[in-house]
Structure 1
Amino acid sequence: MPGMRIRAALAALLLLCTTMVLTSPTASAAPACGVLADGAADQANAAVLHACDQIGLDYSWGGGHVPGQPGPSFGICDPQNGAPNDCRVKGLDCSGLVRFAYFLSVGEDIIDGTSGSQFQTSRAVDRFAPAEGLDPLLPGDLMFFRNSKGNISHVSIYAGDGWMVEAPSSGLKVRMASATRSGYAGAVRLFEAGTSGQPAPGVNRIAYTDGTDLWAKDGPLDAEPILQEGDVKKFQLAGERIGVL
Structure 2
Amino acid sequence: MAAHRKPRQRSAGGTTARTAATLALAGAATATGLDGAGHAEPQLTPEQAKARVDQLYREAEVATEKYNGAKEKADAARQRLRDLQDEAARKQDRLNSARAALGSVATAQYRSGGLDPALQLVLSDDPDGYLEGAAFAERAGSRQNAAVGRVRAQLREIEQLRGAARIELKSLTSRQAELKRHKKTITGKLDAARRLLSRLTPEQRAGLSDGTDRASRSSTAARDGLTAPGSATSQAPSSRAAQAVAYAYRKLGSPYVWGATGPDAFDCSGLIQAAYRSAGVSLPRTTYAQINAGRRVARSELLPGDLVFFYSGISHVGIYVGDGRMIHAPNPSAPVRLAPIDEMPFTGATRVS
TM-score calculated relative to the size of structure 2: 0.34
> Greater helix percent: which structure?
2
Q: With CA pairs under 8 Å and 6+ residues apart, which has the higher RCO, 1 or 2?
A: 1
Structure-1-length-normalised TM-score: 0.49
